[in-house]
Amino acid sequence: MPQKADERRSFLHIRALMATTGEGLIAIGPDGDVIVFNETAEELLGVPRSKTSGKPYTSLQQPKIEEAVEHLLRPRTRKTSHTMRVVIGERVVTATVAPYDFAGRRAAVITLRDDTVLEADRRRSEAILASTGDGLIVFDPDDVVTYINPAATMLAGLMPSAFLGKSTPLWEMLAMMPEDGFAPAIDGSQVREVRLEEPAHRIMDVRTDPVLDEQGGYLGYVATLHDVTAEREIGQMKNEFVSTVSHELRTPLTSIKGYIDLILDGEAGEINEIQREFLSIVKQNSDRLVELINDMLDISRIESGRIHLKIQPLDMSDLIAGAVDTFQAVSDQSGHKLVPKAPRDLPKVAGDRDRVGQVLVNFISNAIKYSPEGGSVTVKAKQDGDMVIVAITDQGIGIAKEDQAKLFTKFYRVDSSLTREIGGTGLGLSICKSIIELLGGKVGVKSTPGKGSTFWFSLPVASKDLVRTPEVEGPGAAGGTVLVVDRDPQVANLVQTYLAKQGYDVVKAHTAREALTKAIAVRPRVITLDVMLDDGDGFDLLQQLKDTPETTDIPVLVLSIVCDEGRSCRLGAADYLEKPIDKNRLITIVDDLVGSVTAPVVLVVDDDRNIVDLLCHNLKSNGFSVVAAYDGAEAMASLRKTHPDLILLDLQMPVMDGYQVIEKVKTNPATKDIPIVVMTAHQIDRSRIDILGLAQQKVDKPFSADDLARRVEALLEDMLVNS
């Protein structure tokens, strides 16, 4: 009796729990009769217990549930659960039919959950998601697609019925290449640009974000499709507009600026002081217009990713000294004092020499403009960890704090009487910021109104693997024939005037066909090439020149309004110069190119820059082309590009010493015949005397640069005779 009482109490306890649980519970016996039917199930189904208990499961009056029970009770069917959603009146009920063992026979248990509120929330959420302009695709942890909103259907041409409930990779849904497919990491997001042509041309930013629960558990991810077609096309149109307008302006400016310079230089006869003054005003304003156009093109190139950077190790001390020298005459005239403070032992930075110089010039120019007469401008540099920081400090008007945050944005200018008087486009600082950030650095400003400003930028210290490749510099006046290819006769005549004054014979061509014919017939020492030709693309002509045996070795200098230095170099151009043409730069490049193919080339290697500069000057004066290297690594980099006729080599150098250079040069079949003249002021390392024996001659420091130049000339003459 006590045992039966205990069993009864236990049953009543279980029965009480079943009656108070929030879920409906129904147990179906092996014969299909309802053996358990709790109060919650009665409430959810709206069927009295008296009409179901002990009755067949069909008394539940729910066809979907009954169908699942019937399937589960059949012999030899899989014992798997079935979950379904049923609507009963105003209720939304989630029903799960699962198998259980009843005295060795198969039976079924049904759980019912009231999801009415949850379903209402889901519908509200889906209504919100459906109304958004961005496409949304929701994935569960197994990459099964659980939701696609109408915007995603429209943007990507998706058919929800083809993907919902199925495991489909995102890249497959968006017709991307498999290797471009991506899904988010659990702790981060990803963004990828996707271009579709079907069902319509569309550019989308596709962002994937993980969905996590409160404990950080991974629930899946959401892909957001944002249509940026209009933005990209407007940006492209803007860049094309800026480029087209700038190009059309640069063509006439080339002639305007060039011929004004020739008149001021007296090429058209003597001019009086009033004429010189008026022409100087025209020149000054044409220069300002060129600067404005260059700024616009720089912005366009940076935004479109077409800026070409030549990363190499840079000595900031030398760059700062050069920039200060550039402004010395201006500062003397304006009464400013320029003070460089850059230690010589600064590590080299990784950067583009021309672009970093552009930033320095911009910062120093602004410091002088906005400083009172008689004020000083200090240019400092220091190492800070793995960065080098350059700071330009002035004693000018200063900048309010609210303006400092906007200084480096495009077209922004501080509004004051002084800035309005000085003028400008508001592009310079934005360009500087973009350049420095592309090089891996940062820019900033510190300023107090009335007490001056400090503009600074940082650049990463160059790694040991980054080595400068020295260029060939030709002798002062090389002479010879230059083929000038330009569709504009006025510009061709201008280039001819520049080069003829330097002693060159000039042959002109205005079409690609004419240029190729004359290049084969004349065999010029250098070709200057405008890549915008009426009868074809100048880049195609450049490729033809490099593919034609008679012209393949002729250096080509691209002179163009088309800003594509990278493509020019890839196709084999020796150098690149934008229009309007800088006369001095043009002559220097042509001299160097002609010298590199006509004059003997001497590679000068020494870590003492003064010695290198002195030797190069004297060698060029004696008709030699030179390559200046400041350590052994630079010398080896140069040898991969240029085959010199002789090497002047110091022994004691950082990075790679002279002994290592000798060994590498003499053990390489391609360079072993190059004579080496050793220059040293140190005692010879006797343990490496066998390596030193591979050199041609030895010269002790100090020596006369003129005498050394004569010895080099005699040595090369002897080698020529003996060969």
Query: With 90 as the cut, is the pLDDT of residue 457 above it?
Result: yes
- Judgement on whether residues 147 and 174 belong to the same structural domain of the protein: yes
- Judgement on whether residues 331 and 437 belong to the same structural domain of the protein: yes
d(CA 271, CA 277): 10
pLDDT level of residue 11 (50, 70, 90 thresholds) = very low
Nearest to 627 by CA among 665, 659, 582, 592: 592
Q: CB atoms < 10 A from the CB of 567, how many?
A: 17
Give residue 39's pLDDT.
Answer: 86
Q: What's the structural domain count of the chain?
A: 6
For 416-433, the pLDDT digits (tens) are 444 444 555 678 888 899
- Judgement on whether residues 185 and 272 belong to the same structural domain of the protein: no
- Judgement on whether residues 331 and 453 belong to the same structural domain of the protein: yes
Of 224 and 680, the structure prediction assigns the larger pLDDT to 224
Give residue 708's pLDDT.
Answer: 77
Domain contains 283: yes
Residue 608: what residue type?
D
Of 609 and 707, the structure prediction assigns the larger pLDDT to 609
Query: What CATH code is carried by the domain that includes residue 715?
Result: 3.40.50.2300
- Judgement on whether residues 480 and 584 belong to the same structural domain of the protein: yes
Give residue 584's pLDDT.
Answer: 87
- Enumerate the β-bridge partners of residue 205: 193, 226
Query: With 70 as the cut, is the pLDDT of residue 585 above it?
Result: yes
- Judgement on whether residues 237 and 208 belong to the same structural domain of the protein: no
Query: Domain boundary at 550, 574, 596, which?
Result: 596
Query: With 80 as the cut, is the pLDDT of residue 12 above it?
Result: no
Give residue 461's pLDDT.
Answer: 94
Query: Domain boundary at 438, 460, 482, which?
Result: 460
pLDDT level of residue 604 (50, 70, 90 thresholds) = very high
Query: With 80 as the cut, is the pLDDT of residue 94 above it?
Result: yes
Domain contains 465: no
Domain contains 258: yes
Q: What is the DSSP letter of 56?
A: B
Enter the tokens of residue 239: 């860049």
For 181-211, the pLDDT digits (tens) are 555 656 677 888 888 877 788 888 888 888 8
Query: What CATH code is carried by the domain that includes residue 68?
Result: 3.30.450.20
First to last CA, the chain: 126
Domain contains 275: yes
Cβ distance 406 to 412 under 8 Å?
yes
Give residue 7's pLDDT.
Answer: 45
Query: What CATH code is carried by the domain that includes residue 351?
Result: 3.30.565.10
- Judgement on whether residues 125 and 193 belong to the same structural domain of the protein: yes
Of 345 and 682, the structure prediction assigns the larger pLDDT to 345
Cβ distance 408 to 420 under 8 Å?
no
For 274-311, the pLDDT digits (tens) are 988 999 898 888 888 888 888 877 877 777 677 778 89
- Judgement on whether residues 620 and 544 belong to the same structural domain of the protein: no
For 138-181, the pLDDT digits (tens) are 888 888 888 888 888 888 888 888 888 888 778 777 765 454 55
Give residue 417's pLDDT.
Answer: 45
Nearest to 456 by CA among 438, 476, 442, 470: 442
Q: 70: domain range?
A: 2-114
- Judgement on whether residues 330 and 452 belong to the same structural domain of the protein: yes
- Judgement on whether residues 334 and 362 belong to the same structural domain of the protein: yes
Domain contains 466: no
Cβ distance 509 to 521 under 8 Å?
no
Q: What is the DSSP string of 414-426?
A: --SHHHHHH---S
Domain contains 467: no
- Judgement on whether residues 357 and 295 belong to the same structural domain of the protein: no
Domain contains 543: yes
For 640-685, the pLDDT digits (tens) are 888 899 999 988 888 888 889 998 998 899 998 898 888 876 666 6
Q: Of all helices (H) and strands (E), which one includes residue 711?
A: helix 705-722
Half-sphere exposure of 413 (CA within 13 A, CB side): 17
- Judgement on whether residues 367 and 350 belong to the same structural domain of the protein: yes
| Predicted TM-score of the model (pTM) | 0.63
Domain contains 60: yes
Query: Domain boundary at 253, 272, 304, which?
Result: 304
